[in-house]
Amino acid sequence: MDLADLYRDVIVDHNRNPRNFGRLEHPSRAADGHNPLCGDRLHLELVLDGGRVADVRFDGKGCAISTASASLMTEAIKGKTLPEVEQLFGTVHDMLTRRDAPVPPELGKLAALSGVREFPARVKCASLCWHTLNAALAGDSAPVKTE
Ligand code: ZN
């Protein structure tokens, strides 16, 4: 199995069985995202506790890339401090938008999304959840649009 197959399997798995899907009882932050180019819609909720992402859930309706990306993101950020989340956002953003950016090993399963940078129209599908996360962390209640 080559890397492309492995990456595809991760995306298929997270699209079919999204992790942290649903709503939280008492979120401390929430934001909505919309990618009109593809029709992806995302609602993200977080519980922040002591400067960490204590819990996170998402729901919504979107393509396989947007759903898998949100699922992978929630797994990656749970338990992380806000500076760690910010750093991860930068690394993921580079991976998605810079064709020559290296894919650092600490990205783990998030590396499965690196293939989208070959398809500029899908980059917004993969980055929607991250922009929505930023809005939630900033306490910005206006819906996020990717364009
Ligand atoms: Zn999409």
CATH number at residue 97: 3.90.1010.10
pLDDT of 142 strictly over 80: no
pLDDT of 30 strictly over 80: yes
**pLDDT tens by residue, 76-106:** 999 999 999 999 999 999 999 998 888 998 8
Query: How far away, in angstroms, is 102 Cα from ligand 1 center?
Result: 24
Residue 66 near residue 39 (C-beta atoms within 8 A) = no
Mean pLDDT of the chain: 93
Query: How far away, in angstroms, is 121 Cα from ligand 1 center?
Result: 8
Percent of the chain with pLDDT over 70: 98
In the block, residue with structure tokens 């783990």: 108
Q: Name, in order, each residue with C-beta under 8 angstroms of 25's C-beta and a sequence gap of 6 or more.
A: none
Query: How far away, in angstroms, is 61 Cα from ligand 1 center?
Result: 9
pLDDT of 62 strictly over 70: yes
pLDDT of 1 strictly over 70: no
Range of the domain at 108: 3-145
Query: How far away, in angstroms, is 82 Cα from ligand 1 center?
Result: 27
Task: Give me the number of domains the chain comprises.
Answer: 1
User: Distance (Å, rounded) from C-alpha 142 to C-alpha 30?
Assistant: 10
Query: How far away, in angstroms, is 140 Cα from ligand 1 center?
Result: 23
**How does strand 40-49 pair with strand 52-61?**
antiparallel
**pLDDT tens by residue, 104-135:** 988 999 999 998 988 888 999 999 999 999 99
pLDDT at 11: 96
